[in-house]
Amino acid sequence: MVNITVLHNELGNFIEEKSGFSVLIKFDHIKILFDVSYSDDIIQNSKKGNIDLNNIDYLVLSHGHIDHTEGLKFINLSDIKNVLAHPDCFQKKFFEGVGEIGCPIDLKDLKKKSNIILSKSPYWILKDKIVFLGEILRKNDFEGKNPVGYLENDEKDYVKEDSAIAIRTEKRLIIISGCSHSGICNIIEYAKHVCKQKKILAVLGGFHLFDKLSTDKTIEYFKKQDIENIYPAHCLDSYAFLQFEKIGAKRIHTLQELTF
């Protein structure tokens, strides 16, 4: 049984300062915190929901943007056994007119508080069952192509570190994305490749869809897939949400619990 609790998800519409995302995953004996949202959102929400954030086996960061990492300043890192991310997750990131938008905790400081695992390749948290996908192959021409701000060296930031988690159940995959800068369809294809499974039980998380063309092509892709449950959560505009709802997708909300 896989249990997923939404520790924070944005409001019905994408509002930047409320856009954080975080879920708690329990599977077998493993407890995974996936992303940590903005500010102390997950601390406050876990108190409201009486959710235990102690003894986390893995804190997995989907990518380095602040709306997925700022919670690092507020959680008790002594309760985190391992922090798992792509090596580029801790790069300094900037956005014009906004300033720094990267992880607020320096990697050197983080290493003093927890065991750090950095991997571009797929990393199996639990052999043949739970995998951090590492760097996603970007094959589609309609997603994962646009930069988000720039890096410290002034190069455009294509958020190459953007990743996801895949969980193998007996017959189908569960895929959890943070923001899908790499493209949610690319993520699904890579997860199927890594896990050697084609059927999908659920796709949940951020889909990063803010233009009609990308959304329409993504919807076309989803219609062709064998996916039982679709949960668009973070980083979508109202048009994208509407199109997903037309194909049976359901929104999720903070403190919602999903069991598969």
User: Got the DSSP string for 33-92?
Assistant: EE---STTHHHHHHHHTT----SBSEEE-S---HHHHGGGGTS-GGGBSEEEE-GGGGS-
pLDDT at 136 over 90: yes
The candidate with the shortest Cα–Cα distance to 225, out of 168, 186, 178, 259, is 186
Is a pLDDT exceeding 70 seen at residue 193? yes
The structural domains of the chain, ordered by start, are 2-259 (3.60.15.10)
The pLDDT tens digits of the residues spanning 73-124 come to: 999 998 899 999 999 999 999 999 899 999 999 999 999 999 999 999 999 9
Kindly state the percentage of the chain with pLDDT values over 70.
97
Q: How confident is the model at residue 170 (pLDDT cuts 50, 70, 90)?
A: confident
Helices (H), 130-183: none
CB atoms within 10 A of CB 5: 19
Residue 228 tokens read as 């039982």
CA atoms of 178 and 168, how far apart (whole Å): 18
Judge if pTM exceeds 0.85: yes
* C-alpha torsion sign, points 88, 102, 4, 54: positive
Q: What is the largest CA-CA distance in the chain?
A: 48
